[in-house]
Amino acid sequence: MKIGTINTPAGKKALLCGSGELGKEVTLELQRYGVQVIAVDKYANAPAMQVAHKSYVISMLDGEKLRAIITLEKPDYIIPEVEAIATQTLVELEKEGYNVIPTARATFLTMNREGIRRLAAEELGLKTSPYRFASNYDEFVAAVKEIGTPCVVKPIMSSSGHGQSVVKTEADIDNSWQIAQEGGRAGAGKVIVEGFVDFDYEITMLTVRHIGGTSFLEPVGHWQKDGDYQESWQPQPMSSVAIDKAHEIAEKITTALGGRGLFGVELFIKGDEVIFSEVSPRPHDTGMVTMISQDLSEFSLHVRAILGLPIPNIAFHGPSASKAVVVHGDSDNVAFDNLEQVLAIPDTQMRIFGKPEVHEHRRMAVLLARGESVDDAKEKVRKMYEMLKVEK
């Protein structure tokens, strides 16, 4: 593997499709290896754009505009960092010789909940929650009756809880349909109706496919609110049987998707039983805890894998936790105060993402801590959160 200076024949160039806080960390890691980064997103001054060499503002669902930029820039690596992308265009570009990370097929399948669920349950035989798909209102009503209540409703194309709701009784059906139609990344359309899974806890099994094989990180536990992550911690205590099953499932799904890079495999755990939920072919928001728990964060590992560099070991520094700072309201002038108190706690860090504005609610920063135990680390980030003052 050889990387030359930017704008020389041996220089490398990466184009990032999505420029949020996760993309910002990937950009910084790429630059540490001297890779030129072009950041693309649907709004100006996105976090990754603030540190990239160049940026473009387009709707990444617009295949023609996305193709035009890629044809102009001729990147060595196309790195999707969000779900809302013209995936069919990426499939075509890959056939033309472009390198889509991890693969265009992986991006295509995981953008659409139907694609990844059918791969996991119907092709690979992985255990999942009971599910039905519905293309219109009548099919939706029938699916809810078949799955039973309570059940979870999600657009087949969405993320971070957008468009997600719970049907607890028949009275919720109309409202849940409306929420799903308004919350989909590509607008109104098909939904998935999932039966509730009885589980003890849920994890993200961060899995790296790299030049030397497949590696697993310590399991990341987390809790969500309205489908969006609030806290994560590492390691989540698990039985050895459950860990082995989680590794087996993660390896099966990531092998089926192919390519190199880091994947976030979401799993439900009930005792020693492991149930597949979802997978992202990119760094995961719950994995931000790795910025303090490991010598190589999930972003570092993603970039090493992409570049074909070895990952001989992953050094874990100890029990750690993260807490998302979600700001509510409407403002283009968010500020964080009392940081001298927040960061006075030993073994803590903070990342302020630099998002230009918030409407309704938005994740704007993350608090990180390492402790003697997972509970100690969680207590630290909660104390940090209490002391943090947010001005809008």
pLDDT one-digit tens code per residue, 144-178 = 999 999 999 999 876 666 788 999 998 999 999 99
> In this predicted structure, which of 34-38, 44-48, 153-157 has the lowest mean pLDDT?
153-157
What share of the chain has pLDDT > 70, as a percent? 97
**Cα distance from N-terminal residue to C-terminal residue, the chain:** 47
DSSP string, 288-351: GGHHHHBSS-HHHHHHHHHHT-------B-S-EEEEEEEEEEEES--EEE-HHHHTTSSSEEEE
Please indicate whether residue 110 or residue 68 has the higher confidence score (pLDDT): 68
The pLDDT assigned to 110 comes to 87
Q: Are strands 13-17 and 77-80 parallel, antiparallel or unpaired?
A: parallel
How far is Cα 20 from Cα 6, in angstroms, rounded to an integer?
Answer: 23
Rounded average pLDDT over 37-41? 98
Would you place residue 183 in the very low, low, confident or very high pLDDT band (cuts 50, 70, 90)? confident
Please indicate whether residue 357 or residue 160 has the higher confidence score (pLDDT): 357
Rounded average pLDDT over 40-55? 97
Would you place residue 10 in the very low, low, confident or very high pLDDT band (cuts 50, 70, 90)? very high
Whether residue 187 is predicted with pLDDT greater than 70 in this model: the reply is: no
The pLDDT assigned to 159 comes to 65
The pLDDT assigned to 55 comes to 98
Residues 6+ apart with CB under 8 A from 213: none
The pLDDT assigned to 161 comes to 67
Please indicate whether residue 110 or residue 100 has the higher confidence score (pLDDT): 100
Taking all residues of the chain, what is their mean pLDDT, rounded to a whole number?
Answer: 94
Cis peptide bond N-terminal to 47, omega within 30 = no
The pLDDT assigned to 111 comes to 82
Please indicate whether residue 108 or residue 256 has the higher confidence score (pLDDT): 256
What is the tens place of the pLDDT at every residue in 277-306? 999 999 999 999 999 999 999 999 999 999
The pLDDT assigned to 83 comes to 78
The pLDDT assigned to 160 comes to 62
Residues serving a catalytic function are 159, 161, 266, 278, 285-286, 363
Rounded average pLDDT over 53-62? 95
pTM of the predicted structure, to 2 decimals: 0.93
Return the number of other C-beta atoms located less than 10 Å from residue 339's C-beta: 14
Residues 6+ apart with CB under 8 A from 80: 17, 18, 90, 100, 101, 107, 281, 282
Whether residue 112 is predicted with pLDDT greater than 90 in this model: the reply is: no
Would you place residue 372 in the very low, low, confident or very high pLDDT band (cuts 50, 70, 90)? very high
How far is Cα 84 from Cα 282, in angstroms, rounded to an integer?
Answer: 13
Residues 6+ apart with CB under 8 A from 271: 200, 239, 242
Would you place residue 72 in the very low, low, confident or very high pLDDT band (cuts 50, 70, 90)? very high
Rounded average pLDDT over 255-264? 97
